[in-house]
Structure 1
């Protein structure tokens, strides 16, 4: 099997980049989605952020963008639709021009409620896209490159046999799909079912194989997560039949010490897990800490964690509707203990807008793009690569009309072109 190390290499690249400070990029491009049905191309010149193109595309509720730099393809998920098969969402593929404009390549229908996606590979270089469907209570996969009206390769549909802690947990709600550091497992936090759904990637077919789900504390509402690894390969690798296991069983290169950090929207907490590559061919998770990522370990009433990112031993969590820097919300910075992996609060800084639904750190590690949903603004914030501290706002741009707090209105995602 050929392992896919892109997520690990990206993590290590960003971590090593933090050892030295460089000026902001001379020029960079970003894309953003808005629940008004538009996808926007943005340009950042180191000082100013400007709008370069607007496209009415990606269905009625564009919610998430994923960029494949090798093929310069942008994939957009449309959040329209529900689990009812009479409704549906859609998946769109675009070629990213050098001028930042997106040119449609293909479109196909999906299960409703697509809110997040990730590209993964099989053992032969084939590429696939996994999508988390929030309202659709499902996870689906598509072979890449996408073709018009192409059906999903797989669809996993979920049901609940018990009620959740709050009305928001009325059904399973997968909120994200992301890869482990080896690129051999897909993990999905299910906000509705209080589960972490885990899938191994079949190296031959690219299909996902279900592993036992991980129970998250009742009422937590897991939303987004991120892996950490020390990057040390312990050479644990098996292929073929081992001790009576199926021929396609494998344990993919454990990369040394591995941990996962999980932001829980409803519980207002972050969980820490030690992760092991089990001989069963799946991942095992042992929780080591739960903390409230906020001042005095108390989350303000109505405030919720949203996005979580990590560079080296520094984590960042966006906090929606905390009004920590009124009228703006906050980004919380956490320090990870190099010895135990435990988290400690460092500080909180402004998100420079309301409802920071998403934010992303550029590959150089010196800039953060914050997508504030309710104010519908993209803020570019400086990040110190030596300390990890977030600094001043460099640029701000209104992208589409503002949305109402607590509704599916406003800016929905923003990504760097890299």
Structure 2
């Protein structure tokens, strides 16, 4: 695998950390990962791109959004100890892209401020070409300060590869689209309405591909949905809290991770600054909060499972660190194992 190395004599893979340069972040950092202890050791970085807040890896090429008003994506060569920019950033024809994903030879971005999803073809060397299409969302929600218009927050392919799913915080809905791999055109197939005012932010699929879990930002809840990959239909089944009953003060969930065996899922909650542990029924149709633990810092913007499935990594934006946790395989409860400094950290990916 590209980017492998050793840490204190143990085999390691690579991690990449995105951050907000406008808040003192160092751009994109590369780090070796000790697969035995979960420890990260930074090997280099690049601040060539403004606010690379979310990342996606495709072999030797790392893609990053530039979460700025103009909105762009950038590509980095990651075969060396430090990410190396591959040309100038490419505009996404949308404002403040917060998330990106790879599908069918294309790079897709969710553009928060403009409420749209952009599709960019990838060149043979893995770098993005100019946008092939932009699908604009429409709608509002009842929380005037946050839902005056659409705010696409995440885009990703479903496990079957048939569909592209986009989560919109502003419209309280999830859109299911079809991507034409030949033209890069994204076509709306259907839209699933969630409870008004919940503000859906991110979604993760059960490993069996039969259910999906939508993490809501404006209310600290998780919406469990049935997913029909043949028909391309998402059906809400119910909600469950991700903070304990009686929790006071604002809580803004940010990211959700599902265990590879589907027994647990974890959610990062900002404000409350915790990691929620939920147990999932064997069929995937229900989830229940069983514990919360401190996130190891302040304002956990992102949560990621490491490559072995034994460690969780929280990118704590406001305390400026990435903290890792050893996961108990029986209970799913994470225990803090270490941390590194990473100013304005916003995302961690592995490869």
Q: What's the TM-score once normalised by structure 1's chain length?
A: 0.74
Q: Deviation string for 1:151-196 (max 9, x for gaps)?
A: 2011112343x55323011221011112211122111110011111
1:233 maps to: none
- In the aligned structure 1, how far is the partner of 2:316 from the partner of 2:346? 8
In the alignment, the residues of structure 1 paired with residue 126 and residue 214 of structure 2 have an alpha-carbon distance, to the nearest angstrom, of: 34
The residue that corresponds to 1:14 in the other structure is none
Q: Secondary structure at the match of 1:63?
A: coil
Q: Select the structure that is richer in strand.
A: 2
User: Gaps spanning 5+ residues in structure 2: where?
Assistant: 1-9
Partner residue, 1:42: 31
Where 2:152 maps in the other structure, the secondary structure is coil
After the TM superposition, which residues 236-385 of structure 1 pair with which residues of structure 2 at under 5 Å, given as runs? Answer: 258-277=210-229, 282-296=231-245, 298-311=246-259, 312-322=262-272, 329-339=273-283, 341-385=285-329
1: distance between equivalents of 2:175 and 2:190?
Answer: 7
Q: How many equivalent residue pairs?
A: 332
Question: Does the 8 A contact of 1:365 with 1:385 survive in 2?
Answer: no
Equivalent residues in 2 for 1:89-238, closer than 5 Å:
89-99=71-81, 101-106=82-87, 107-110=89-92, 111-121=94-104, 127-145=105-123, 150-160=129-139, 162=140, 164-202=142-180, 204-230=182-208
**TM-fit CA distance, 1:149:** 8.2
Q: Cα 1:128–1:156, aligned 2, differ >3 Å: closer, same or farther?
A: same
8 Å CA contact 2:77–2:85 kept in 1: the answer is yes
Residues 48, 285 of structure 1: alpha-carbon distance in 2 compared, 3 angstrom cutoff: closer
* 1:58–1:90 Cα contact (<8 Å) kept: no
Q: Give structure 1 stretches of 5+ with no counterpart.
A: 1-24, 82-87, 122-126, 231-254, 323-328, 401-409
Q: CA deviation at 1:392?
A: 2.9
> In the alignment, is the contact (CA less than 8 A) between 1:292 and 1:299 conserved in 2?
no
Q: What is the aligned-residue RMSD (CA, Å)?
A: 2.2
Residues 331-373 of structure 1, C-alpha deviations (whole Å, 9 max, x = no match): 0110111146211112111210001100110121011111001
In 2, Cα distance between the equivalents of 1:229 and 1:30? 23
Confirm or deny: 8 A CA contact 1:181 1:228 kept in the other structure: no
- When Rg is computed on C-alpha atoms for both structures, the one with the higher figure is 1
Q: Aligned equivalents of 1:377 and 1:62: distance in 2?
A: 16
User: Structure 1 residues 388, 353: closer, same or farther in 2, change over 3 A?
Assistant: same
Give 1:148 shift: 7.5
- CA distance in 1 between counterparts of 2:128 and 2:253 reads 36
Cα distance in 2 for partners of 1:51, 1:363 equals: 17
